[in-house]
Amino acid sequence: MVKKTIVRLIVSLLAFVLLYYVVTQYGLSDPTSKGLLHVKLSEPDFSLSPWIYVLYAHIVTACLAVAIGPFQLFIKPKRRGVRLHRVLGYIYVASIYISGLVSIYLCIFATGGWKAGLGFFSLDILWMASTWIAIRQAVKKNITAHREWMLRSYALTLAAVSFRVWLMLATPLFGDQFLSAYQLSAWLCWVGNLVFMELFIVMTRKKKGIQTGSGLNLR
């Protein structure tokens, strides 16, 4: 119970940090003066439009998914709350698919070239795929499997947070090789999250004595 509470606190804190960063970076200050936009504008022959509009579509929908996640994953819906759970679930899924699809366009122009772009593209595909599998499990009434796949989905959603953490940690290690740090972070941000969440799922299964099975209700 204590471990679960710690994980919930960490996840909620990460979600809050990302939302705070986005609001201050893109809402309360000039985003072109620092951060990603500043780096992109310094690239030769870079066209701000339509890239900037796609970026904002990606940011808004991704942040919506980040904000909804903790309520969906860590608050068990009571009988009266099932409908709200479903509505929020629809919004979460729609946000992921919009954000994931437009992000594929952003991958083409990723800072760090094809190495970073491939990392982000892999993230997008796994993000949408894990969410789709979670939906399928819900349709099959496979509740435990549905929850596990949603946990994986949200782990990938939080890659938006862990990317910035990894970039902050990797940049000093690479010195003036910022692009190398960026490329590495594009992969670590989601691989690390998936590993952490998979360990959490395995520990939860062992504690509850759950065995996996194809097409079975695991609850």
Q: What is the pLDDT of residues 97-109, one digit of tens each?
A: 999 999 999 999 8
pTM > 0.95: no
Burial 161-199 (b: 16+ CB within 10 A, else e): bbbbebbeebbeeeeeeeebbbbbbbbbbbbbbbeebee
Distances (CA, A) of 166 to 50, 102, 171, 186: 28, 23, 8, 9
What does the alpha-carbon distance between residue 154 and residue 143 come to, in Å, rounded to a whole number? 16
pLDDT (tens digit per residue) in 61-97: 998 998 888 878 766 666 666 888 888 999 999 999 9
What does the alpha-carbon distance between residue 188 and residue 174 come to, in Å, rounded to a whole number? 15
